[in-house]
Amino acid sequence: MKAIIGVCACPAGIAHTYMAAENLENYAKKKGYKVKIETNGSAGVENRLTEEDIAAADAVIIAADTRVEMERFRGKPLIEVSVSAAIRKVESIFAKIENGEVSVY
């Protein structure tokens, strides 16, 4: 089973951060992936990705409209999208991952 991890963050960190995270999680589960999404919202960092989560991940999705700590993902296939893309275009994000159209960070 492929493992997908991600980070969702927007400047306000209220609704859209959590909508994007929920959408990515639901779609990944539907496709049979193991998934964990960190949220950087108004309540701070929730569901923080561990070094083990990152090491085990086959791909990383960053859905953010604000700065995210990226160095921890060095060497991983990574795709960066807006929070709204994670809400509206989740199929195309996963299609890029499945087709190998993501660069290694």
For 36-74, the three-class secondary structure string (H helix, E strand, C coil) is EEEEEECCEEECCCCHHHHHHCCEEEEEECCCCCCHHHC
Name the nearest CA neighbour of 1 among 36, 49, 41. Answer: 36
Q: Which of 4, 5, 10, 20 is catalytic?
A: 10
- Please confirm, yes or no, whether 10 is among the known catalytic residues: yes
Please list the active-site residues. Answer: 10
